[in-house]
Amino acid sequence: MVKIRLTRGGAKKRPFYHIIVTDVRSARDGRNIERVGYYNPVAAGNEKRVELDIARVDHWVGHGAQMTEKVRSLYKEAAKVKAAA
């Protein structure tokens, strides 16, 4: 099964997450199929908090991929920001 989930990056105490499409059997920071965006929980000032390629996420969901709960909430946030723009 394919999942859309977060993989951690960044420095110690400064997390940064890539939103990736991966096989459910892969490790959290292991192999991925495609990177579809990022999430920066410590964004300050003018930095973007969430950047997501909504079209690619829709493509993967259409092919049976499942989003984790956190990615689903980030997807809703990104869609709301895109609709407002």
Among 3.30.1320.10, 3.30.300.30, 2.60.120.10, 3.30.70.1450, what is the CATH number of 2-84? 3.30.1320.10
pLDDT of residue 82: 81
Q: What is the pLDDT of residue 26?
A: 87
The domain locations on the chain are 2-84
Residues 20, 83 contacting (CB under 8 angstroms) = no
- The pLDDT value recorded for residue 29 is 81
> Could you say which residues of the chain have pLDDT below 70?
none
47 Cβ contact list (under 8 Å, min separation 6): 40
pLDDT of residue 16: 95
The beta strands (E) that lie in the chain are given as 2-11, 14-23, 34-39, 50-52, 66-67
